[in-house]
Structure 1
Amino acid sequence: MSGPDQLPTPEVARKVFGERTEPAARYVEHLATSGIERGLIGPRERDRLWDRHVLNCAVLAEVVPPDAKVVDVGSGAGLPGIPLALARPDLRIVLIEPLARRVDWLDEVLDDLALDVTVERGRAEEPAVLRRWEGADVVTARAVGPLARLAGLCLPLLRPGGAMLVLKGASAPDEIARDAAAVRTLGGGEARIHEVGAGVVEPLTTVVEIPRIGVPRRRGRKERR
C-alpha cells in the first residue's frame, strides 16, 4: 500500500501505538485510499487523518479501563474503535455499523491489519443487536448525534456501572447542561468531561463520560396523554 503519496507517520504515533505503529500506518493508508474512494472519509480530510482522526480517537485509551469489553456505536470508518484496538490490545472491541458498504470495508481493513475485532451490521437500538452485545463495560461513539440521542443508544448496551465515553467538541459543557434531564431519564448518571491526549494532539480530545446508574424510566399513563 506504500507509494510516493503515502502519508508520513508522525513520530508521536509511536508513543501511542508502540509495536502496532506499522498497522496503524496501514490503517491510515486504507482511510486515505479506499476510505475516500468508497465515501467513508471526505477527500479534504486526507492530510489530517493522523491528527484529526486516528490519534484524536486513539487517545481515548487514556480513560478506558483495562481488559474492558467495548462497543463502538455507529462506527463508520472504524472511528474510534479501530484506533482504540490498535492502541490497547487488551480490549475486546465490537464495531456496530448499519450500512453494508461500510461493514464490508471494515471487514477488509481488519483482515489486513490482523485485528481481533468484531463487526456487527445493525443499529444499536435493534433488539437483536442489543441482546448480543449488552453488558459492555464501555460504549463509545463519535460524531453520531446529540448527547440525549447518544444516551438512548449507548446506555442500554452497558452493564450497570459501565460508562459511555463519547467524543465531543468545545460545546460539550453546553450539551451536557441541555441534555442532563434526558440523560437521567435514560438511566445515566452525572456527566464528566475529560481532556485527553496531552503531548499527542492539539487541541486535546474532549471525552464526555456518563455512567449507567439505572434503567430508563417508563412514563406513566397520564404523562403519555
Structure 2
Amino acid sequence: MIPDFALCCSEFESVGLQLSKEQYDKLSAYAKFLVEYNEKVNLTAITDPAEILRKHFIDSIFLTKFTDIPTNAAIIDVGTGAGFPSVPIKIYRPDVNITLLDSLNKRIDFLKQLCQRIEIDADFIHGRAEDYSKKPEYREKFDVSCARAVANMSLLSELCIPFVKENGCFIAMKGPNEDISLGTHAVELLGGSIERETEYKLFDEDRKIVIVRKISHTPSKYPRNSSQIKKKTL
C-alpha cells in the first residue's frame, strides 16, 4: 500500500534516513490497514500510497533528526489521531515506549487493532489531555510529549508540557507560518523554555519543529479545564 521497497529506500535516503526491510514491511501493513479502516472511520484525507509515505511516515520519522530522543524513552503522543508521529517512530526506533492519547474512541480502537497487526507494543488512552495530565500516573512521567496538530503553540503547550518530566522535552510539529514567540509566555508559565525552533523543507514543503525543554515543575493549576482553555489561551 506504499511504493515498493527499493523506491521507499530511495525516498528515505533522499532525506538522510535509512530503511530496513522489517521497517518497510510494518509501514506497508500500516498503510494498507489505514486506507481500509479509513473507509468506515475518517482518519486521514491522505490515501495515495506515495503521499502516505511522504506526508505521514517520513514526516513523522524525520522528527528523530531534530531531537535526541533517549534510548528507551517514554513518549506520549497527544491527540495522536491515526498514530502520527509516534507509531512510525516506534517502528523506526523499537526501543522507545509509546502512549497514544486521543479523545475519540474510534481512533483508539483503530490504533489498538493496528498495533496488534504490526506487532508493536503501545499504551492507549481514550480521553482529553487536560484531564489525564492531572492524574499522578501520567503527570510529569514522560521523557517526551509530542503533537502534530494545527492548534496554536500556547494551547498545545498547556496540553502537552504537564506530561513531561524535568529535563524532558515537548516536541511540536508545526506549519511554517505560526509565530512561535506568541507562545513563549505560556511555555514559561508551564515550566518550559523554547530550546530550538527549526525550519526546514521536506520534499519541497515547508515545515517547522519546535523543541521545548522542561526546566521546572508545571504548577498544579495547569492545565486548566477544557472550558477555561477554550475561553482563553495562556
8 A contact 2:194–2:210 mirrored in 1: no
Give the superposed CA RMSD: 2.3
8 A contact 1:59–1:205 mirrored in 2: no
- Counterpart residue identity of residue 188, structure 1: G
Specify the alignment match of 1:145 in structure 2.
151
TM-aligned CA deviation for residue 202 of structure 1: 4.0
TM-aligned CA deviation for residue 133 of structure 1: 2.4
Specify the alignment match of 2:38 in structure 1.
35
Specify the alignment match of 1:222 in structure 2.
none
Aligned positions, number: 208
Q: Partners in 2 of 1:126 and 1:104 — Cα distance?
A: 20
5 Å-filtered alignment, 1:144-223, equals: 145-172=151-178, 174=179, 176-195=180-199, 201-203=203-205, 205-216=207-218
5 Å-filtered alignment, 1:102-117, equals: 102-117=107-122
- Counterpart residue identity of residue 77, structure 2: D
- Counterpart residue identity of residue 211, structure 1: R
Q: Which stretch has the larger CA shift, 127-136 or 161-170? A: 127-136
The C-alpha deviation readout for 1:32-71, integer Å capped at 9, x for no partner, is 22134310112xx112111111110111122223221111
Instruction: Please give the TM-score of this superposition, normalised by the length of structure 1.
Output: 0.83
5 Å-filtered alignment, 1:99-138, equals: 99-127=104-132, 130-134=135-139, 135-138=141-144
The C-alpha deviation readout for 1:89-117, integer Å capped at 9, x for no partner, is 11011111121111111111110000011
Aligned to 1:189, the other structure's residue is in SS state strand
Any stretches of 5+ residues in structure 1 without a counterpart? 1-5, 220-225
Relative to its length, the structure with more helix (as a share) is 1
Q: Partners in 1 of 2:126 and 2:111 — Cα distance?
A: 10
- Counterpart residue identity of residue 183, structure 1: V
Any stretches of 5+ residues in structure 2 without a counterpart? 222-234
- Counterpart residue identity of residue 71, structure 1: I
Q: Partners in 2 of 1:183 and 1:193 — Cα distance?
A: 13
Specify the alignment match of 1:223 in structure 2.
none
TM-aligned CA deviation for residue 211 of structure 1: 0.9
TM-aligned CA deviation for residue 158 of structure 1: 0.6
8 A contact 1:122–1:129 mirrored in 2: no
Structure 2 CA distance for partners of 1:113 and 1:204, relative to 1, 3 Å: farther
The C-alpha deviation readout for 1:126-173, integer Å capped at 9, x for no partner, is 14774232310000101151111111111110111110011111124x
Q: Which stretch has the larger CA shift, 28-37 or 51-60? A: 28-37
8 A contact 2:99–2:125 mirrored in 1: yes
Structure 2 CA distance for partners of 1:112 and 1:130, relative to 1, 3 Å: same
Q: Higher relative CO (CA 8 A, sep ≥ 6), structure 1 or 2? A: 1
Identity of aligned residues (%): 27
Among 65, 85, 101, the alignment partner of 1:80 is 85
Structure 2 CA distance for partners of 1:186 and 1:106, relative to 1, 3 Å: same
Aligned to 2:147, the other structure's residue is in SS state strand
